[in-house]
Amino acid sequence: MSFDLVFFGGTGDLTWRKLMPALFQAFRHGKLPAGGRILAVARDDNSDERYREWLKERFREVDGSKRPNDEEFERFAALIHYRRMDLSQPEHYQGLKDWLDARQAETVVLYLATSPYLFTQICQQLGAVGLNEDRVRVVLEKPLGHDLASAQEINRVVRSVFKEEQAFRIDHYLGKPSVQNLMALRFGNALFEPLWRRESIANIQITLAEELGVGTRGAFYDGTGALRDMIQNHALQLLTMIAMEPPSTNDADAIRDEKLKVLRSLKPFTAETVVRDVVRGQYRSGNVGGTVVNGYLDEAKVPENSHCETFVALRTEVQNWRWAGVPFYLRTGKRLAARDAQIVINFRQVPHPIFPGTNQANRLVIKLQPEDGLELQLLAAKGGAHGEALTPVSLDLDFDKAFATNRVGAYERLLLDAIAGRLNLFVRSDEQEQAWRWVEPILDAWEQDSTGPRPYNAGSWGPAAASALVAKDGFAWAEEQ
């Protein structure tokens, strides 16, 4: 299948840190379809050869196992081209169209790896020159808007140029192999589905924790914050996949219809419940991995006395028959005690314990990063003596070891799906807008709250109020159990 893949923002961090290395892995593994061209678009005055040399230097910063040797890069670089474009100039879009039309590839994928404020301008210009025919797909990188109104405006402009099935709104968490195994766990096996409901599950916890701070991205991050950066998209997408009803088929719209139903069933926030059920925090100086690190307000390009949150923990419920009364706890933050992304399904205690000692409830841990796997925590008897207390044991499945050959990374999977036209792992506009609709009362309440976020030490698990949030229901975060 012939294809042209165009990266707007071809010299940006996302392109050289994530997208080009992902494409190279697809190329190395023989998964990239033959007959493809990769075009980087940016304002710099470069030739194909100079851009390839620049990219080769950038590849030296990629993880060793994913770094091409000289021969591999030479073959991969033969696919790569460069075109100078000023995205404000209509004639430059016409030049791009002429370049693409000269070959008439079967598929054209336009990846907007730019600042989101350029999305509407780029889409309008693409439509003006006719770069919106059926063979064209547009990929929109997050963040998709700053609030509900801006997200709706982006979607309005995108819909005025492209059909819904041509718009690929990307959330790289959905491309992670562990997230794909979440779907397989639920809908490819009969074991858990009878238990996947309020009668058997006590609570569900989703944690997306980072050890890193904001680094050099202080100015960008301060205008975004943890709620917009992680909860509105990544965490909510994971929640929908945990809570959704079984779709009728594995088709994109069947899956996305069920995810949308979950988003519409989430308990809405009010100004009062935001105070009770949402904790926001901001890291101060502390110790991470044996190194003393700055607090958020001391980071480069962070405004003095900023109220930007670097941590969010919240409690919500899915108000339907399957999940009524089951609390869902979502948590994310920077400068936390570990880099750890996981979903913890805490099952209920047995209704009538007959063994001595404290009987810990069963727990299923779905590990997203840095490990990729499943851990089922059970209780068992050692067989040492009559009347002994039960001992916790784990069934631990490491997917990296179980499927050791050529596993596909998140961006690699999503880029291949965009080229192939598979929408299953991309977010539909109504999903995206409903997620914004749900978080907007939190943003509104914080706007009226002059107290700002609670401080927490770098290297901790966030403010103490986050533990209290879960303790009010008689539960605890996984690391506290």
In tens, the pLDDT along 61-100 reads 887 777 899 899 999 999 999 999 999 999 999 999 999 9
Three-class SS state of 313 = strand
Percent residues over pLDDT 90 in the chain: 78
Q: What's the pTM?
A: 0.93
**pLDDT for the residue numbered 405:** 66
Both structure tokens of 61: 């910063």
**pLDDT for the residue numbered 391:** 86
Q: What is the mean pLDDT of residues 266-294?
A: 96
Both structure tokens of 163: 């059909």
Lowest model confidence (mean pLDDT) among 24-33, 79-88, 322-331, 379-388: 379-388
pLDDT tens, residue by residue, 433-469: 999 999 999 999 999 998 999 999 999 999 999 999 9
Nearest to 63, CA basis, from 119, 132, 17: 17
Calpha distance 419→168 (Å, rounded): 10
| pLDDT(363) > 70 | yes
Confidence of residue 56 (pLDDT cuts 50, 70, 90): very high
Nearest to 231, CA basis, from 440, 409, 428: 440
Q: What is the mean pLDDT of residues 157-179?
A: 91
339, amino acid identity: R
Confidence of residue 357 (pLDDT cuts 50, 70, 90): confident
Three-class SS state of 321 = coil
pLDDT tens, residue by residue, 199-235: 999 999 999 999 999 988 888 899 999 999 999 999 9
pLDDT tens, residue by residue, 297-318: 999 999 999 999 999 999 999 9
| pLDDT(289) > 90 | no
Q: Give the active site residues.
A: 234
Calpha distance 147→433 (Å, rounded): 9
Strands 327-333 and 167-169: unpaired
**pLDDT for the residue numbered 319:** 98
Calpha distance 40→84 (Å, rounded): 8
Residue in the structure block whose two tokens are 């706007």:
447
Both structure tokens of 82: 């460069």
Measured on CA atoms in the order 367, 198, 346, 364, is the torsion positive or negative? Answer: negative
Both structure tokens of 90: 């209509």
Calpha distance 80→258 (Å, rounded): 39
Nearest to 231, CA basis, from 272, 280, 264: 280
**Which residues lie closer than 8 Å to 39 by C-beta, 6 or more apart?**
4, 5, 6, 7, 10, 80, 81, 82, 83, 99
Calpha distance 420→26 (Å, rounded): 13
Calpha distance 171→175 (Å, rounded): 8
Give Cα 382 distance to the centre of its chain: 41
Q: What is the mean pLDDT of residues 24-45?
A: 93
Three-class SS state of 210 = coil
